[in-house]
Copies of this chain bind each other. A is one copy, B any other.
Amino acid sequence: MLLHLSTWPEIEAWLAHSKTVVIPIGSNEQHGPTGLLGTDWLCPEIIAHEAHRQAPGDILIGPTFNVGMAQHHLDFPGTIALRPSTFMLAIGDWARSLAHHGFEKLFFLNGHGGNVSTIDAAFSELYAEASYASRQRGFACKQRNWWDLAGVSKLAYQQFPAGHGSHATPSEIAVTQWGYPDSIKSANYAPQIAPSGPIREAKDFRARFADGRMGSDPGLATPEKGGELVKLAVQGLLAEVKAFSAETPASAAQAADGAVYPSPAVG
């Protein structure tokens, strides 16, 4: 079910049997010489909408949160960025709105590595609101990068054993090629595999990564490979949403989701 193509009575009916909603979330930012500016929000949207097409009764997809934490890309035209503080406030308002209707499981399918920390901080801000007030939050938040869905990253590295990199990767570009076959771009670029390095402010970023790529060779992408990735991601998404929906609050039983802290974390 797509929330934005539904009426409010349809959502009311949905809530009678499920308390879970999936929000595709990403960023609108440069993706190298050939990648679409929308890549990072298009990928989770493509995957989520494909999951909806395959199993419309099993999943509710909200509108796509299409602008995120992309300050480092601002020296490349077309990038639109929210400051982390703005991003957190906006995620908070989305979450509070959805929880207001009775949603108890908010699943953010993320398409941008640069969003991860800020989304996590936004969740903590939401939880803190309840913690200071000595009350239960009433809903749980979860984010999952689409490439961290079961098997996806492994497949990406099989498809692209060299030149995958970490930004403007052939895997994400392949997914958009599959989703938007009329918008496949090509360009000459060099070196074939882009450099790597730390991520700081926009000027530093542009100095390090002249055409916007990080460690990647996006020309390896094909729509077919994108389709394979989408197929696997859809399976993973449906499974994770099902498991998240089934999770009961604060039971004695151990929950499966320990993802807030990357292991091995101490402290």
Binding site for B on A (CB under 8 A): 3-12, 14-15, 26-28, 30-43, 62-64, 66-67, 69, 71-72, 74-86, 88-90, 92-94, 96-98, 100-102, 110-114, 116-118, 120-122, 124-125, 127-128, 130-132, 134-137, 140-141, 145-147, 153, 156-157, 164, 166-167, 169, 171-172, 180, 183, 185, 187, 195-204, 207-208, 212, 249-252, 254-255, 257-267
Contact = CB atoms under 8 A, between A and B. Distances in A.
Nearest to A204: B250
A37 B11 contact: yes
A264 B82 contact: no
B207 A112 contact: no
User: Lowest 5 A-B CB distances belong to which pairs?
Assistant: A4-B38, A131-B202, A71-B128, A207-B250, A117-B120
A112 B260 CA distance: 13
A203 B150 CA distance: 31
Contacts of A26: 267
Given A7-B30, A97-B132, A136-B203, 17 more contacts: A7-B36, A8-B37, A10-B78, A11-B37, A80-B98, A81-B131, A83-B93, A83-B125, A84-B124, A113-B261, A118-B121, A130-B201, A137-B203, A166-B264, A172-B267, A196-B254, A198-B258
A131 B265 CA distance: 32
A201 B261 contact: no
9 contacts: A7-B185, A11-B37, A28-B63, A97-B132, A128-B201, A131-B201, A136-B204, A166-B264, A208-B250
Nearest to A156: B266
A100 B134 contact: yes
A250 to B, nearest CB: 4
A147 B267 contact: yes
A116 B117 contact: yes
A124 to B, nearest CB: 5
B267 A167 contact: yes
A195 B251 CA distance: 11
